[in-house]
Amino acid sequence: MSSDPGVRLPRPERARIAQARDEVGETAVAPPVARLLVALFACLIAAPSLVQMGLDPAFYQRLGTRSGGVEAATPGSLFDRLRAVNRGLLARAGRIEDQLAEDSVLGRRLRPVVQETLTGWLRAGTAQVEVGVGGWLFYRPDIDHVTGPGFLDSAVLARRAAEGDTLAAGRQPDPRPALLRLHEQLDRRGVRLIVVPTPVKPSADPRRAGSGRFESALVMNRSYGRYVDGLERAGVTVFDVRRTLSAMRREGAGPLYLATDTHWRPETMRRTAVELAAFIEREAVLSEPAGGYRSRRVAATNQGDTTRLLDLGPDQLLYPPETVTVTRIETLQGEPWAPERSAEVLLLGDSFTNVYSLSSLGWGVSAGFAEHLSYALGRPVDRISQNDNGALAPRRLLAAEAARDARRLDGTRVVVYQFAARELSQGDWRPIALVTDPAAAARGVLWSPAVDSTATVEATLAAAGPIPRPGTVPYRDHIVALHITGIETLGGPGIGAGREAVVYVRSMIDNELTAAADYRPGDRVRLELESWAAVAPELDGISRGELSDPGLLQAVPWWGTPVDVEP
C-alpha cells in the first residue's frame, strides 16, 4: 500500500482501503476504562516482585551474587581496567536477569506446572531437552552436533573462533591441533595415545529422536569421517566406537543408550571396554596381566539427567526412574576397584567414563568404563576424569599433574583419551603443554598440603572459578576452585604471613547452590581445610569451575568446607 500522495491507486484498491476504514472505524475508550486497564497492567507487572518481596525479602539483596566466576582486580592500562569493569558489570546484569527468571518464588512454583503441561500434552521440550518418541529424551546439544554442519567446515571453524564477546574469549574450535600436540608430547615420552570419541545418543538411536530418515545405521556429524582419517594419517591412533555400536545394532541388541539420560547403557559400555582392551593389546606392548579382579551384578535405579533438565518438579510422573543392571568390579578381597597411579594404561575421560563410577551421578559405583577396561585387560588402570568439558578438562588436569610431578608419566605406556563426540563441534580444543610451568613455583607463597594435613583458616577471597546455574547443565553437583590470600590459621599448622592457597569447595549439591556460590572478591571466608588428595577418590570426577590463572591451575589444592562465622 502506497502512502505517497502523488501516486494514484487503481479504483479497486481505493475501494478496498475505503471499505477497511469503514469496517475498522474508530475505537473509543472512556477515561475510567482506560485508567482501569492501565491500573490492571501495572498490577500484573508489579505482582511478581511484590509476591517475591513478601515471601523472600532477602531475594533482591542476593541478586547477581551467584553463578559466575569472580576474578581479582585486573592490572594493566586504564583501558584494560575499564574493560574488566565493563565485563564485570555485564556479567552481573546477566546473572540478575537469570536469577529473576529462574529463582523467583513464582518462577520455581509455576515453571514445573507449565512445563509438565507443555511436555505431557504437546511433547514440547526446553532449550536443553528434545522430547523423542516412546518416552525418550535427548540432550539438544547432542542433536545439534549430529544434525548440524560439519565441525571441520571452514565457515564453521571461523564462526566458532569468532564467538567470543565482551564476557568470554572465543574457543579454539579445531580439535586436530590439540590432539596432534598431545600425541607428539606423549610420543616423546614413549607413550602411545589412543583417541576414543564416543558417539552421542542421537547417533545410536536416531529413530527415537523422531527422525524417520534413518533405520539402522549410526548417524555421525558429516565431518567425522574426515576427522578420523586426518588423525590416522598424522599417526594418531583412533579407536572408533561407532564400529562397536554398529556391530551391536546388526546383532539385534536392544537400546544402546539410556532412555532419559545422555549416556550409554551398561551393556554398551562393557562391550566397548572389552573391544578397546583387545585393541590396546594389539597396539601396545604391555607387561603380563596381573589379574586380581572379580565382578558382581547389581541393580541401579535413577532419574536420568535429561529428565532433571526438563524441570518438571520432584513429583512428575511423565518420565519414571529407569532401572539397569550394572556390573561392579572388585578386588579378589571384595574391595571396590580403584585407579592405580603406577598403571601402564591411563584413561582420560568425561561423564561417559564416570556415569557408572561416580556416586553423584546416581547410576552406581565401581562399575564404569575404567573399571571394565581394567577388568578386560586383567591389569590396573589409572584414571583422570571429569564430568563436563571433555575437550579441555582431562588434558588440563593431566598437564597440572605432570607440572607438579615430573615423573607423573614414567610408568605409563598408553593414554586412552575418551570424550563425548559432541565436543568435536562444541568443545574448547586449545592446545595444552605437558611441561613444568614455573609460574606456580615462582609465586613462592602458595601453601600446599601434605596428604594428611588439616587446618582451620580465615582468608580473603581473591578469585573463584565459574559456577553454572542449576538446571542448565546435566550434572547436579559442582565444585569450584577458590584462590585465597591473607591466610590466618585458627587451628592446625601455622603458616607464614602473606601465604596464598588454592581450595576446592562444593558450589552445587543436587542442583542447589551452596553458600560458597555467594562468595565475592574481598570477602573474608572461614574454611576447614584438608588435603584434596584425601577426598579425590570420591570427588575428582565432579564437574569443576577452575581458575583462569595457569600458575594456579598447577598448584597443589586443598579441599575446603565453609565454616559459619558467629555474628
List pLDDT tens digits, range 246-256.
999 999 888 99
Average predicted confidence (pLDDT) for the chain: 84
Which residue type sits at 335? E
3-state secondary structure 52-70: HHHHCCCHHHHCCCCCCCE
Q: Which residues pair with 560 in a beta bridge?
A: 529
pLDDT of residue 502: 92
Q: Which of 391, 311, 491, 456 is nearest to 145 (CA)?
A: 391
Contact 346, 384 (CB under 8 A): yes
SS3 per residue for 227-272: HHHHHHHCCCEECCHHHHHHHHHHCCCCCCECCCCCCECHHHHHHH
Q: What is the dihedral of CA 57, 59, 61, 67, to 10 degrees?
A: 170
Is residue 70 pLDDT above 60, yes or no?
A: no
The predicted pLDDT at position 88 comes to 65
Question: Which range, of 271-280, 375-384, 529-538, averages the lowest pLDDT?
Answer: 529-538
Q: Which residue bears the cell 596381573?
A: 290
Residue 564 DSSP label: P
pLDDT value of residue 186 = 96
Residue with cell 568470554: 168
Give the separation between CA 256 and CA 267, rounded to whole angstroms: 8
Q: How far apart are CA 65 and CA 96, in angstroms?
A: 8
Query: Tens digit of pLDDT for each residue in 98-120?
Result: 666 666 666 667 777 777 777 87
DSSP state of 36: H
* Interval 448-462 mean pLDDT: 85
pLDDT at 369 over 70: yes
Spatial contact of 136 and 207, defined as CB atoms under 8 Å apart: no
Write down the pLDDT at residue 284: 87
pLDDT at 166: 47
- The C-alpha atoms of residue 287 and residue 413 are separated, in whole angstroms, by 10
| Number of Cβ within a 10 Å radius of residue 341 | 13
C-alpha distances in Å from residue 299, one per residue of 112, 328, 359: 29, 10, 14
Ramachandran angles phi, psi of 301, nearest 5° = -120, 135
pLDDT at 323 over 60: yes
Does residue 468 contact residue 521 with C-beta atoms inside 8 Å? no
CA-nearest of 484, 428, 436, 432 to 456 is 484
More confident residue, 321 or 162: 321
Q: Which residues have C-beta within 8 Å of that of residue 366, sequence separation ≥ 6?
A: 328, 329, 330, 336, 337, 357
| CB contact at 8 A, 560 and 492 | no
DSSP state of 437: -
Confidence of residue 522 (pLDDT cuts 50, 70, 90): confident
- Residue 483 has a pLDDT of 92
pLDDT exceeds cutoff 60 at 69: no
The region of weakest confidence among 23-27, 122-126, 366-370 is 23-27
Does residue 431 register a pLDDT over 80?
Answer: yes
- Its pTM stands at 0.83
Q: Which of these ranges, 39-53, 59-73, 548-562, has the smallest mean pLDDT?
A: 59-73
Percent of the chain with pLDDT strictly greater than 90: 47
pLDDT tens track for 377-428: 999 999 999 998 999 999 999 998 888 888 899 999 999 999 999 999 999 9
Residues 294-307: tens digit of each pLDDT: 999 999 999 999 99
How many whole angstroms separate alpha carbon 76 and alpha carbon 529? Answer: 33
Q: Compute the C-alpha angle 408/413/419, nearest 5°.
A: 85
Dihedral of alpha carbons 420, 424, 426, 430, sign: positive
Q: Of 462, 483, 567, which is closest to residue 74 (Cα–Cα)?
A: 462
β-strands 414-420, 345-349: how paired?
parallel
pLDDT (0 to 100) of residue 191: 96
What are 300's strand-pairing partners? 324
In angstroms, the Cα distances linking 133 to 203, 206, 317 are: 15, 10, 16
Q: Choose the most confident range, by mean pLDDT, from 251-265, 284-298, 450-464.
A: 251-265
Region label for 238, one of left (φ > 0), alpha (ψ between -120 and 50) or beta (otherwise): beta
Quick: pLDDT tens for 466-516: 888 887 788 889 999 999 988 888 877 666 556 889 999 999 998 888 988
Burial class (CB in 10 A: 0-12, 13-18, 19+), 107: middle
pLDDT at residue 169 in the model: 54
Higher local confidence (pLDDT), 84 or 289: 289
User: DSSP assignment, residue 557?
Assistant: P
Question: Of 22 and 174, which is predicted with more confidence?
Answer: 174
The per-residue pLDDT for 50 is: 72
Cβ(557)–Cβ(546) below 8 Å = no
- The grid coordinates listed for 72 are 581479582
* 244 contact partners, CB below 8 Å, separation of at least 6: 271, 272, 275
Mean pLDDT of the region 525-554? 87
